[in-house]
A and B are shown apart, each in its own frame.
Chain A
Amino acid sequence: MVRFLKAGIQLLAALPVLFFTAPINAQTPPPADTVFALAASHTGDDTLALQWTIAPGNYLYRDHLSAKLDGKALPLALPAGQEKDDPNFGRVEIFHDRVEGKLSALPASGQLEVIYQGCAEQGICYPPVAKNIDLATLTIANVHLGLGGQDAINASSPGDEQAAATKPEATTDATDSYLAGNPLLMAAGFLGFGLLLAFTPCVFPMIPILSAMLAQSGDRLSIGRGFVLSSAYVLAMAAAYGIVGLIAGWSGANLQISLQTPIALSLAAAVFVALALSMFGFYEIGLPAGLSNRLSGGARGGGSVMGAAVLGLGSALIVGPCVTPPLAAAMFFAVQSGESFKGAAALFFLGLGMGLPLIAFGTFGARILPRSGPWMIRVRQIFGAVFLGVAAMLIARLLSPSVTLVLWGAFAIGIGVFLGGFDTLEVASGWQRRLGKTAGIIVSLYGATLIVGASGGASDLTRPLAFLAGQGAAQAPSLEAMQTDSPASFDAAMAAHSGKPMLVSFKADWCTVCKSNETIMEQPDIRRRLHALPIIDVDVTKQDASARELMSRFSVVGPPTLFLLDAKGREIPGSRMIGPITAGEIAKRLSQAGA
């Protein structure tokens, strides 16, 4: 054996290159996380099963498995382990392969910390592994342990949550301090904020819109023209925000919401339909040649600069609802400062920051865009379809879910027709046409399904025919909220549940994030808990005096905003959530409120 070993080592030594190329990890013990895998699942309302899967040749110590809830040890029910007795190890019970532990009488939310420790029989003991399990969602996160298996930075994890919980406030504070200083700093600050916002998914839809516009100028597109066009687009977008800021500062009203009024939305949708028609070649949007030449620095290219500006204004509408928390901070300042110019400048720079990457894209990305050819018409048609989609999305905020579904159905059928779903094929037709027809038929079928779904009362784009599966007898009753839209109806709703904590939710029909938040609140675990809690919906779709009064009563900048009131009707500090929520966040706040 020894000789074999030596031969082996010599062989290895003769091949030093092997060492440098071979991954060292393959030779060292695998990390504890690979060897011990933890999974958690609900076995009942308040019980949880923890399953460990242990790689061969490794084991966990029975008395080193533990669970803590918010720092308090919980009784973890474990099966008897295999006995191991060794002078060095003492008498211990161990688990091989797999083991399941059970926890009972758990609350519906909270942070469960599970710690386990084991060794490899080859001769190494792993440090304890700690995992944090969110009881509301059962997501498992790593906890970093320090010396002695103590939560070295345990104090920092609640701290982090605290920081996350107070983020909107923190942003506001940062904004305030920026704005208190000199105007240049303020402009730079908001430009930076905007740049950060540019990388949110809300700004991505602007890229196809911008490229559509660039494609429209076809083979005339140069770097210079790309720059001019995208700048016009971005400046118009920033100007839209600037105007909002100006009026907000001047009137103290919330103009982000005004941009979302039915009239503004209808207008914007009309603009997009007009643009779509132009894309389909019905007409060219243009300014008088002289003006447009001056605007675009002499380049020939029709009135696309104007088109770009119109698109930019429209885009402010699309992006608006997506970025509530940061925009809220800027808005809050604009309103509070009461200085219209400052407010306008702040929001203008915010918009400019959001648009800077788009200018870069429009200028340099334009080089990558294909140049010219008959397919250009095809591309323009595609963008026409995208614009129609945008128009449908805007107008959908005003319509009931079923009508929206019909609208989308019609849209899909239209696309199906354009794809050639109903064109007649010849024997000689090529594969492109056949493929197009296939796609056209599929899209049309989907469209038809949506319309059928709508007549069956469905509202979900992904499951239009779910109603056919029966009305789910097991379904818990849906959340019922009291709808209010004025101080009077709000007070009445509060009085109806006086002496109880309540959840207040500011929402609006146009607010897409509000809708996704509702989906989260409909998750079974959350819904079960919300059921015991009166919910007051404040509908601020109509931005009238009574909506404004309610918003100022609770210092709400815009929907979606959720917070909890205690039994005496006071807002529970730290319970406020602005913008998109997660199940974990809402569960945590509910627990704080004792619900």
Chain B
Amino acid sequence: MDRRQFCQLAIGAGAAPFVAGAAWGSDIKAILHDPEAPEAGNPKGDVTIVDFSDYNCPFCKKAEPDLIRVIKEDGKVRLVYKDWPILTEASVYGAKLALAAKYQGKYDVVHHALMSIPGAKIPQSKMLEAVQASGVDMDRLNADLTAHAAQISALLQRNMEQANALGLQGTPTYLIGPFKTMTLNYAGFKEALAEARRRQAAGNIIK
């Protein structure tokens, strides 16, 4: 872990008791347990990571493989995806594709496909190509995109409202147990998870 990582985690740790933040109080449940929000990892995990991200955010893409690896190795983490497409118009398009794939149980697949596109400022066409190549049923996806358009838009709107209520400044932002952090690497995620568990053992539980 280098100095930069330390700073980043310290930033998370310092911001930790967002329980105390006024914005959290009533909305915790809505943020952690939005029935529409796609989830991954262990649904019965003892720590929840909430991932606010954008498909055109380089730091999100960089952190993605580390996050997935930590969650897989840990085995007891519940992951909640919050698509928060703020950077480009294409980000919104990508988020809608991913959320439409949720209806055929393939949000994860599309999310990773989009996060793995190399480069910056990915246009809609490139995103569509990546999704087509990911092996989802495109006819079904298109149908869901139309049928659930209102639901998907409402979820994106809700995510944005939650991010604003939390005072999030940009992407990525991860809520890890009681912590709030910017981008992290493998070691950083592990450290944050360990600290989150220590906190929860001490009674600082967010559910």
Contact = CB atoms under 8 A, between A and B. Distances in A.
Nearest to B195: A9
Most chain B beta-carbon contacts within 10 A, residue among A4, A120, A124: A124
A16 interface: yes
B8 interface: yes
A146 to B, nearest CB: 7
Contacts of B17: 16, 19-20
B14 A32 contact: no
A148 interface: yes
B58 A88 contact: yes
B8 to A, nearest CB: 6
B182 A148 contact: no
B86 A127 contact: yes
A92 interface: yes
Given A13-B198, A28-B180, A122-B182, A90 B118 contact: yes
Contacts of A117: 87
Given A32-B170, A92-B120, A125-B171, A5 B9 contact: yes
A27 interface: yes
B167 interface: yes
Contact of B14 (A4, A12, A122, A123): A12
Contact of B1 (A5, A12, A13): A5
Interface in B163-188: 167, 169-173, 180, 182-184, 187
Contacts of A92: 120-121
Interface in B12-33: 13-18, 20-21
Interface in A44-89: 63, 86-89
B118 A124 contact: no
A127 B16 contact: no
Contact of B7 (A20, A87, A122, A125): A122
Nearest to A89: B58
B61 to A, nearest CB: 5
B171 A124 contact: yes
A145 B157 CA distance: 12
Interface string A13-43: 1001001101011111111100000000000
Which size bracket describes the interface of B in this complex?
A: 35 or more
Interface stretch (B69-77, B88-96, B142-150): B88-96
Contact of B85 (A87, A123, A148): A148
A150 B187 CA distance: 36
B74 to A, nearest CB: 18
Contact of A28 (B11, B63, B119, B160): B11
Contacts of A125: 54, 57-60, 87, 170-172
A9 B15 contact: no
B167 A28 contact: yes
A122 B171 contact: no
Contact of B21 (A13, A24, A90, A126): A24
A90 B198 contact: no
Contacts of A119: 58-59, 170
B156 interface: yes
Contacts of B86: 127-128, 145, 147-149
A148 B83 CA distance: 11
Interface string B38-71: 0000000000000000100111111100000000
A393 to B, nearest CB: 49
Contacts of A2: 1, 187, 191
Given A125-B59, A147-B85, A24 B169 contact: no
Interface in B94-138: 118-121
A90 B156 CA distance: 27
Most chain B beta-carbon contacts within 10 A, residue among A13, A24, A122, A125: A125
A1 to B, nearest CB: 5
A149 B87 contact: yes
Contacts of A90: 58, 118-121
B154 to A, nearest CB: 12
Given A5-B1, A9-B195, A89-B120, A124 B87 contact: no
A8 interface: yes
Contacts of A28: 11, 15, 167, 169, 180
Nearest to B94: A148
B117 to A, nearest CB: 10
A123 B20 contact: no
B88 A148 contact: yes
Most chain B beta-carbon contacts within 10 A, residue among A24, A30, A87: A24
Contacts of B58: 86, 88-90, 119, 125
Most chain B beta-carbon contacts within 10 A, residue among A9, A31, A120: A9
B118 A88 contact: yes
Contact of B170 (A87, A89, A126): A126
Interface in A83-108: 86-92
A129 to B, nearest CB: 11
Nearest to A31: B169
B1 A124 contact: no
A252 B93 CA distance: 62
B2 interface: yes
Interface of A: 1-2, 4-5, 8-9, 12-13, 16, 19-20, 22, 24-32, 63, 86-92, 117, 119-120, 122-128, 145-150
26 contacts: A1-B6, A2-B187, A5-B1, A12-B16, A19-B14, A19-B17, A24-B167, A29-B11, A88-B62, A89-B120, A90-B121, A122-B4, A123-B63, A123-B183, A124-B59, A125-B171, A127-B87, A127-B170, A128-B86, A147-B156, A147-B157, A148-B85, A148-B86, A148-B89, A148-B90, A148-B91
7 closest pairs, A vs B, by CB? A123-B183, A27-B14, A90-B119, A90-B120, A148-B92, A127-B86, A89-B58
